[in-house]
Amino acid sequence: MSIVDLFIFITTSVGVTAGLVVGSLLDKPRQFIAERSDFLGEMIHCPMCTGFWVGAATSLLFDVSPLYGAFMISLFSWVIIQLVDSAMRVGEYYSIDSEDGE
């Protein structure tokens, strides 16, 4: 597997995971799942848990070891989603702060 293939594998898998976990398009299905099952509700709201299964599934398409791909995508998904969430919170803090100062 080349570096480009690895990059495509990671970005595709992390994007699918982010869409499933935090995407506004899937708010209602996530809420439906959380109402029906506590276990699956926690799984669908956790980027590491969802990333593990997305990584395992997409690794079959990219000819990567499913266990290696699952753990790698689980870690990358958690890191990327936490970084984006932190950046959004910092942006919200400063936008609220600047509105109060005006």
pLDDT tens series, the chain, 102 aa: 789 999 999 999 999 999 999 888 999 999 999 999 999 989 999 999 999 999 999 999 998 899 999 999 999 999 999 999 999 899 888 876 555 555
Enter the tokens of residue 61: 């398409």
What pLDDT was estimated at residue 100?
Answer: 54
Residues near 70 by beta carbon (within 8 Å), at least 6 away in sequence: 51, 52, 53, 55, 56, 59
Residues near 21 by beta carbon (within 8 Å), at least 6 away in sequence: 44, 45, 46, 47, 50, 77, 81
